[in-house]
Structures are given as C-alpha cells and as structure tokens.
Amino acid sequence: MTIPSDPALTDLGFAQVDLARVARRGRPEAIFSQGKTPAQVVAIARALAEAGQTALATRTSPEQRDALESALGGTFDVARHDTARLVVVRAQGAETAPRKTGTVGIVCAGTTDMPVAEEAAITAETLGSPVVRHFDIGVAGLHRLLRRLEDIRTCRVLVVVAGMEGALPSVVAGLVQAPVIAVPTSVGYGASFQGVAALLGMLNSCSPGISVVNIDNGYGAGYLADVINGVGE
C-alpha cells in the first residue's frame, strides 16, 4: 500500500489543511487554536467548511471565538461553546454526523472539572454520539456516584474527568464493563502540579479497562469516545 501522492488538501502557506482526513480517518481535522492568530483560525475553519466538512476549533480564546463568529457567522452555521472553549463551524444545511446507537457517559468529579467535561461532551455530540452527563460525583461523597450507577452502567463508553488525586476513574472502572477514558484535569494546587498528580494516578490505576489522555484534553477524550462508540456499528 502506498500513501497517495496527490492528497486532498488546501495549502494556505502557514497551514496545509488536511481535507483527506475525513476519508482516511472518518472524522475531519480539528483546529488546535491555542497559539494561532484569530486570522489563522478563521482561515482554516473557512477552508474546512467550504469543503463541506465540520470545522471544530478547540482551546479557543474569547478573541478567537469572536473572530470566528463575526467572520463566518453570516456564511456558515457557527456554534459557540464558551465553557468548553469550542466553536463548531459548518456549511449551512450541511449534514451532521449520523447519530450512533450507543451512549457516551461523561462523568466528572467536581464542578471545577466542568470545562474539560463539557469539551468532551460537545466533541462527542458533534461527531455523532448521544451523550449523558453526570457532574460533581467524586469519591469524597461516594453515594453521589452510587445513586447514578445504574444509569452509568448503561453507557457504551465512559469518559471520566477528575483533577486533584484523580481517583474517580479507578472507582468507576471497578464497577462497570464499559471502557473508561480517563481525563486528568489541572484542577488543584500545590502538589497537584497542574494535573500531574491526577495523570499519574490514572496511569497507575489498579482497575483495568482504563486508558488515559493528556491533562485537560477533553477534545481527545470525546473524539476517542465517539470512535469506540462506533466500534461494531
């Protein structure tokens, strides 16, 4: 097998927009917005939307969100999610991703983990997965988890988001069959080291069936949850 010599892409000079990704991977390229100028984010989003693909801009600043809305709002459908720092741009009337049969459960330990949990939730929804949310049910008050356990056990994939000691994924995974995607957050202070404590906790979980994504990487968790949710469909 060879890599095709003439791939679909839009060459913007500062960016090679990978239009072939949706065919190759089943989902379009997302825009990692952090560190880009608003104009760069807008240009890449426009290139994707003009090609009929869904542009998902992650880790946007308020300025980038404003720029996307004002530059593209008239021409395309622009959905802005401030808590999750996401913007979704689509050609008007474009087909959305087909809705999968299984459900993705998004669980988070504390209120402060919500931005990351929402980033995962909206990403999975944008890619075609039904989502249920269970927020602020960390291990300090275990009954908060147990009263929702029946619901949680019906999900086909779970994203479990936690900062501080990051114990929630171990506890959840110990009680379910579904695969658990653990997301450490930078919530905490002192020896949490901006999420390192949670990350290490999750990597060393005594419960199998868990894997881990980068600190605060709600997008990656939501993307992977949707991929797993589609396994066997």
Segment interacting with a copy of itself (CB under 8 A) among 63-71, 73-81, 91-99, 192-200: 192-200
Report the nearest approach of a copy of itself to the CB of residue 201 (Å). Answer: 4
To 10 degrees, the CA torsion angle through 30, 35, 39, 40?
-50
Segment interacting with a copy of itself (CB under 8 A) among 34-42, 46-54, 60-68, 89-97: 34-42
Structure token pair of residue 100: 């999968």
Segment interacting with a copy of itself (CB under 8 A) among 47-55, 63-71, 74-82, 171-179: 171-179
**DSSP conformation letters of 8-63:** --EE-SS-EE-TTHHHHHSSPPPEE-TTS-HHHHHHHHHHHHHTT--EEEES--HH
Q: Which of residues 128-157 bind a copy of itself (CB under 8 A)?
A: 135-144, 146-147, 149-150, 156-157
Residue 28 as a binder of a copy of itself (CB under 8 A): the answer is no
Which residues, in sequence order, are CB contacts of 68 under 8 Å at separation 6+?
38, 41, 42, 45, 57, 60, 78, 80, 87, 89
Show the site string, 94-133: x = touches a copy of itself by CB under 8 A, - = not. Answer: --------x------xxxx-x-------------------
Going by the DSSP 8-state scheme, the letter that residue 215 receives in this structure is T
Structure token pair of residue 16: 């090679």
Total chain residues near a copy of itself (CB under 8 A):
108
Residue 18 as a binder of a copy of itself (CB under 8 A): the answer is yes
Report the nearest approach of a copy of itself to the CB of residue 76 (Å). Answer: 21
- Between the two ends of the chain, the Cα-to-Cα distance in Å is 26
36 versus 46: smaller Cβ distance to a copy of itself: 36
Q: Which of residues 56-95 bind a copy of itself (CB under 8 A)?
A: 59
Spatial distance between the Cα atoms of 55 and 126, rounded to a whole number of angstroms: 10
Segment interacting with a copy of itself (CB under 8 A) among 47-55, 61-69, 84-92, 161-169: 161-169
Residue 197 as a binder of a copy of itself (CB under 8 A): the answer is yes
Structure token pair of residue 48: 């994707």
Residue 165 as a binder of a copy of itself (CB under 8 A): the answer is yes
Residue (of 123, 128, 181, 133) closest to 157 by Cα position:
181
